[in-house]
Structure 1
Amino acid sequence: MCGIVGLFLKDKSLEPKLGEMLSQMLEVMTDRGPDSAGFAVYGASEPGRVKLTLRAPEGYDFAALKETLGGDAQLTERETHAVLSVPEASVDGVKAKIAAIAPEVTVVGAGASMELYKEVGLPRDVAGRFKLAQMSGSHGIGHTRMATESAVTTNGAHPFSTGDDQCLVHNGSLSNHRGVRRELERQGVTVKTDNDSEVAAGYLTWRMREGRSLGEALEDSLDDLDGFYTFVVGTETGFGVLRDPIACKPAVMAETDEYVAFGSEYRALAGLPGIENARVWEPEPAKVYFWDRAAA
Structure 2
Amino acid sequence: MCGIVGLFLKKDELRPKLGDMLTDMLITMTDRGPDSAGIAIYGDETGGIKITVQSDTPETAFADLDADLCAVIDGPVTIKSISTHAVLTVPAGSEKAAIAFLEDKGLRIMGSGESMEIYKEIGLPKDVAARFNLREMGGSHGIGHTRMATESAVTTMGAHPFSTADDQCLVHNGSLSNHNQMRRVLAKKGVFTRSENDTEVGAAYISSRIADGATLGEALEGTLKDLDGFFTFVTGTKNGFGVVRDPIACKPAVMAETDDYVAFASEYRAFADLPGIDAARVWEPEPATVYFWER
Name which of structure 1's ranges 88-97 and 204-213 shifts more when overlaid on structure 2. 88-97
CA apart distance, 1:68: 1.4
Give secondary structure in 1 for the equivalent of 2:31: helix
The 1-side partners of 2:51 and 2:15 are apart by: 22
Q: Which residue of 2 aligns with 1:227?
A: 229
- Aligned-residue CA RMSD (Å): 0.8
User: Which runs of structure 2 are paired with 1:43-54 in the superposition (5 Å)?
Assistant: 43-47=43-47, 49-54=48-53
Name which of structure 1's ranges 157-166 and 145-154 shifts more when overlaid on structure 2. 145-154
Give deviations 1:130-188, integer Å, cap 9, x for gaps: 01000000000000000112211111100000010000000000011111010010011
Match of 1:94 among 95, 98, 105: 98
User: Which runs of structure 2 are paired with 1:170-185 in the superposition (5 Å)?
Assistant: 170-185=172-187
**Is residue 40–residue 140 contact of structure 1 (8 Å, CA) maintained in 2?**
yes
User: Which runs of structure 2 are paired with 1:114-133 in the superposition (5 Å)?
Assistant: 114-133=116-135
The 2-side partners of 1:176 and 1:99 are apart by: 28
Is 1:32 aligned with 2:32?
yes
Q: Which residue of 2 aligns with 1:138?
A: 140
Q: Which residue of 2 aligns with 1:17?
A: 17
Give deviations 1:43-68, integer Å, cap 9, x for gaps: 00022x00000111133331322121
CA apart distance, 1:82: 0.4
Give the letter for the 2:115 counterpart.
Answer: S
Q: Which residue of 2 aligns with 1:161?
A: 163
Q: Which residue of 1 aligns with 2:85?
A: 81
The 2-side partners of 1:99 and 1:201 are apart by: 20
The 2-side partners of 1:22 and 1:276 are apart by: 18
Give secondary structure in 1 for the equivalent of 2:218: helix
Is 1:267 aligned with 2:269?
yes
**Is residue 21–residue 272 contact of structure 1 (8 Å, CA) maintained in 2?**
yes
**Is residue 243–residue 292 contact of structure 2 (8 Å, CA) maintained in 1?**
yes
Q: TM-score, normalised by structure 2?
A: 0.97
The 2-side partners of 1:166 and 1:63 are apart by: 28
How many residue pairs align between the two structures?
A: 290
**Is residue 175–residue 226 contact of structure 1 (8 Å, CA) maintained in 2?**
yes
Is 1:240 aligned with 2:239?
no
**Is residue 58–residue 85 contact of structure 2 (8 Å, CA) maintained in 1?**
no
Give the letter for the 1:220 counterpart.
Answer: G
**Is residue 63–residue 75 contact of structure 1 (8 Å, CA) maintained in 2?**
no
Name which of structure 1's ranges 78-87 and 58-67 shifts more when overlaid on structure 2. 58-67
Give deviations 1:222-274, integer Å, cap 9, x for gaps: 00000000000000011100000000000000000000000000000111000
The 2-side partners of 1:247 and 1:37 are apart by: 23
Q: TM-score, normalised by structure 1?
A: 0.96
Unaligned runs of 5+ in 2: none
